[in-house]
Structure 1
């Protein structure tokens, strides 16, 4: 509930900061004179920006199960020794992390794993059959520790907050620029002209790309923290380092785009690194080697 409260307060804070900034710069008064109600636009932008992100967070577990075909293991009646081990390992890691026991699931696919859910005490941790068949139990346990660390850190809510903030800025600024061009530059005085809609579309694309870079940067930082978190939960960094090294030699399984950032691996080089939700494996191993685990 604390994170939901933080979510709502961040929403309000974004609106207040935007409003104050516009007032200080005199933009608000000028646009008001041109017929644009900034308060209404702020409310609309926050509703669109945060609303979609919030809804996606609330239904994330349902969407993850549906899109991957993940099968939740009944902790009271696992169908194999491997399933029993998975549930026991995740529950032990969750106890060490001080969170409720997540649902544990298996899905068919190439090597990958993910955690999702709106609440720390009601999350989902899932691993693929490809990952289970490609790693030792110690390495799988380290991956599970990484996912449990994501849950304990509240990373799903944090990333949703960041996505909501940048979405709000994208929606708001694109419409401010579109209105300015339509009324001031193109001198349109009758409703919203084609110039407005054209500029809004272009600005949303440009601002959206910039926003994606910001969100991806935050996502990469949380991967470093989850790697370190796994090492703390495991009591040593070597298991996670081995798991990362193993992942570096495997072709990672693709997850649905809506929660691709939740996967265990990814990352690329060059310009694509700016939009990558995961750092390169080599950088993660180096960061883990230098991490303070106390």
Structure 2
């Protein structure tokens, strides 16, 4: 299903890209747009993850530079039966996280410093389990391709004003109306694709992530904290790259917390309620806490030993 979904997404986004090109420059514009779309498809498949990580100045970490955070991801990946992904930290005070990569063998997970400083280790584990669920469900390829092409379509539509807004464009079959359509409808259509993908996959990743870490209420608590913080802390990088908003566990853009057609994520309260139902069905009345002396009993940490309360970010 994910292969079919990705193929349909590529076809739709390419057609949308070509449509914008036609509205801007007629047949010639459509041909140029097709060439650009083909190049973007290849780029997003092979290097989309690197582009997104570069947008947020993410730095890769390992067991030496961020031992506790790296160990959390490592043990969660082992519990999920996944290859160890590359691990990144983004210097940003807004708590958030995302996963990217074309397949589990080439996946990467990234968390902000805000997430690592504001959340408990248990909550961090819940968040990273959610991101690994995206990797396991192979959502990351679809997410990355959508981010790359949606951004390109919005950029192309913005160019429409300069190509046709100030003169009579004989190559544009619809004239100034075509320019307006390209500037308004195309970015909106690309945004709707993002929303449709994001809203359905978040519930599935929440559920699978809760199964991976073994504690639905850890993720529920994390979602509550992140949602409150994203309303208070602006993420300038995300504001500059809104086409990537659907990749994050919580929408990083300001004013995006309604559960309707124009939200890239389901309402956080609805997601928390679903996780609470999952916990009740499993007989969990309260979240358990981390205990280093009981390896494996309360989550993904499989090693015994002392631990400070600094958190998983070292």
TM-score category of the 2 structures, normalised to the smaller one:
0.5 to 0.7
Q: Give the CA deviation at 1:107.
A: 2.0
- Does the residue aligned with 2:89 lie in a helix, a strand or coil? strand
Q: Structure 1: how far apart are the matches of 2:71 and 2:137?
A: 21
User: Is it true that 1:69 corresponds to 2:67 in the alignment?
Assistant: no
Q: Structure 2: how far apart are the matches of 1:57 and 1:44?
A: 20
Q: Structure 1: how far apart are the matches of 2:6 and 2:35?
A: 13
Q: Structure 2: how far apart are the matches of 1:9 and 1:273?
A: 24
Structure possessing the higher relative contact order (Cα contacts under 8 Å, 6 or more residues apart) = 2
Counterpart for residue 214 of structure 1: 193
Counterpart for residue 203 of structure 1: 181
Q: Give the CA deviation at 1:163.
A: 7.5
Q: Structure 1: how far apart are the matches of 2:227 and 2:13?
A: 39
User: Is it true that 1:84 corresponds to 2:67 in the alignment?
Assistant: yes
Unaligned runs of 5+ in 2: 15-25, 155-168, 283-314
Contact conserved, 2:2 with 2:139, CA < 8 A, in 1? Answer: no
Counterpart for residue 52 of structure 1: 40
Counterpart for residue 185 of structure 1: none
TM-score of the superposition, structure 1-length normalised? 0.67
Instruction: Give per-residue Cα distances to partners, 1:211-231, cap 9 Å, x unaligned.
Output: 422321221211111111210
Contact conserved, 2:13 with 2:190, CA < 8 A, in 1? Answer: no
- Does the residue aligned with 1:288 lie in a helix, a strand or coil? helix
Unaligned runs of 5+ in 1: 16-35, 171-190
| Alignment map for 1:160-171 (pairs within 5 Å) | none
Counterpart for residue 114 of structure 2: 130
> 92, 95, 101: which one pairs with 2:84?
101
Which structure: greater helix fraction? 1
Rg comparison, structure with higher value: 1
Q: Structure 2: how far apart are the matches of 1:198 and 1:232?
A: 53
Counterpart for residue 306 of structure 2: none
| Alignment CA distance shift 1:11-1:250 (3 Å) | closer
Count residues with an aligned counterpart. 246
Q: Give the CA deviation at 1:195.
A: 4.2
Counterpart for residue 275 of structure 1: 262
Q: Give the CA deviation at 1:59.
A: 2.2
Q: Structure 2: how far apart are the matches of 1:290 and 1:54?
A: 42
Q: Give the CA deviation at 1:90.
A: 0.9
Contact conserved, 2:91 with 2:113, CA < 8 A, in 1? Answer: yes
Higher mean C-alpha deviation, range 51-60 or range 88-97:
51-60
Instruction: Give per-residue Cα distances to partners, 1:92-127, cap 9 Å, x unaligned.
Output: 212222221111121211211111122221111111
Higher mean C-alpha deviation, range 210-219 or range 6-15:
6-15
Counterpart for residue 274 of structure 2: 287
Counterpart for residue 156 of structure 1: 140
Q: Structure 1: how far apart are the matches of 2:228 and 2:13?
A: 42
User: Is it true that 1:264 corresponds to 2:249 in the alignment?
Assistant: yes
Q: Structure 1: how far apart are the matches of 2:204 and 2:248?
A: 14
TM-score of the superposition, structure 2-length normalised? 0.64
Contact conserved, 1:49 with 1:166, CA < 8 A, in 2? Answer: no
Counterpart for residue 125 of structure 2: 141
Contact conserved, 1:107 with 1:126, CA < 8 A, in 2? Answer: yes
